[in-house]
Chain A
């Protein structure tokens, strides 16, 4: 009986230790936007469905977004973006998976510049990517802000070249997300 009690105590210890001293942070409702700044037209595709995970123990950084949730403000443009450019039925997600390559102190409650290195995938094409951003540990978790550029050519995303340049080749991606401890 004592052995059973001991194992149950260990079991509980493992469970509660992991929850209270979490080094993993995750969220499912972060913000992401793709900004197209073409000579004739600037517009943003916005979404509140950014999923993110940072596991400090494993040095894992993982973000993804269902690209069909991007909203440019005009539904027909959304439909063309999904169908003609991003092909979201075939390639539904934009995703980044990598690791922190700069120092980060989760106990220091101030905004810290960080660099992550990994792979960014969109339109079913994966490219190596290094992204700089900030992480701010707060009472609620980790507040992440980052921006980077994506060249549509690099990801074989076709766009009209002859008639009008309404879609910029270089898209700026901005993300903002609060990762909370222990969610996945």
Chain B
């Protein structure tokens, strides 16, 4: 008993006096996986990369003419662009409102983005899931038609469900089921099939981080429209993160820049060089 007490005394004394280096501990052991993608958009598609409450995301997106225009047309740059401005504001860390305007068909759209699930570092949640419902209005002048469009006929709707997993620091993959509907279609609308109102597809996209600030990206949106033999959408790009902006440059087979038109619009054949240059600039602001 005496020896035990003596031993405890020695151990305790030296343990107390021998103040070692601090033990390193993380503040949060489990947390959400971050930067599954570099920006809220990957080429043209919404990603699961959600805004936080009080953040404003501004993006300007472009696609130009097909590169087959050659050097005289600066490989499509001279042939006019589809330009889309969009704003997204995070109301909370899981819910944001979206608005945008595309020059193609002069579509103005409104929508929301919900972050339903977030992948966690521990693996307790293996994927991140968002849902993005949009409603757009075609504001083109369509008065030249014998039967002009009513406001209701100008509307289109879409909903996409991005489901993504960051498999490693470098590789992230996403599948986005998309449903889109145009209240009225016709040859005056920039879609591939002027007789088809509703579209369903699933977009596959991903990115592979090459360096800490650059990543290769891609998207593939199969066309299930056999009536007009419309090829599938295919795009490859590179993302560059600059510490404040995310630049995305890509080649894509479609001039479309957002979900309903990505599901419905005409595509070139990539292997026949029927693709075009495009780029996005993403910028985020802290509003509150």
* B-binding segment of A109-117, A130-138, A162-170: A162-170
Would you call A93 and B22 a contact (CB within 8 A)?
no
Would you call B16 and A74 a contact (CB within 8 A)?
no
A129: chain B residues at CB < 8 Å are none
List CB contacts (< 8 Å) of A1-43 with chain B: 3-4, 7-8, 10-11, 14-15, 18, 24, 26, 38, 41
Assign chain A's interface to a size class. Answer: 35 or more
A158: chain B residues at CB < 8 Å are 211-213
Knowing A62-B22, A92-B26 touch, does A57 contact B17 (C-beta < 8 A)? Answer: yes
B242: chain A residues at CB < 8 Å are 160, 163-164, 166
List CB contacts (< 8 Å) of B51-74 with chain A: 51-52, 55, 57
Would you call B19 and A57 a contact (CB within 8 A)?
yes
Interface string of A45-89 (1 = CB under 8 A from B): 000010111010110101010101100011111011011110101
A83: chain B residues at CB < 8 Å are 34-35, 169
Q: Which of A76, A80, A85 contacts B51 (CB under 8 A)?
A: A76
B9: chain A residues at CB < 8 Å are 7, 10-11, 14
Return A157 CB to nearest CB of chain B, in Å. Answer: 8
B121: chain A residues at CB < 8 Å are 89
B213: chain A residues at CB < 8 Å are 84, 158-160
Would you call B16 and A11 a contact (CB within 8 A)?
no
Q: Is A180 an interface residue (CB 8 A)?
A: no
Return B225 CB to nearest CB of chain A, in Å. Answer: 36
A74: chain B residues at CB < 8 Å are 55, 284-286
Would you call B241 and A84 a contact (CB within 8 A)?
yes
CB-based nearest B residue for A10: B9
Q: Is B21 an interface residue (CB 8 A)?
A: yes
Interface centre among A14, A55, A69 (most CB of B within 10 A): A14
A82: chain B residues at CB < 8 Å are 34
List CB contacts (< 8 Å) of B235-288 with chain A: 240-245, 247, 284-286
B18: chain A residues at CB < 8 Å are 58
In the assembled complex, the Cα of A64 lies from the Cα of B25 at a distance in Å of 9
Interface string of A86-125 (1 = CB under 8 A from B): 0101101101010000000000000000000000000000
Q: Which of B16, B55, B247 contacts A76 (CB under 8 A)?
A: B55
B247: chain A residues at CB < 8 Å are 163
Would you call A75 and B52 a contact (CB within 8 A)?
yes
Return B56 CB to nearest CB of chain A, in Å. Answer: 10
Return A79 CB to nearest CB of chain B, in Å. Answer: 5
- Could you list 18 further interchain pairs (A-B, Cβ under 8 angstroms) beyond the known A76-B284, A166-B242, A167-B243? A3-B2, A41-B243, A51-B22, A53-B19, A53-B22, A57-B19, A64-B22, A64-B24, A75-B52, A77-B244, A77-B284, A80-B38, A82-B34, A90-B169, A160-B242, A160-B243, A163-B242, A164-B243
27 contacts between A and B (CB under 8 A): A4-B5, A7-B6, A14-B13, A26-B22, A53-B21, A58-B19, A62-B21, A73-B286, A75-B51, A76-B55, A76-B284, A77-B243, A77-B244, A79-B34, A80-B241, A83-B35, A84-B212, A87-B212, A90-B169, A92-B24, A158-B212, A159-B213, A160-B240, A160-B242, A160-B243, A164-B243, A184-B22
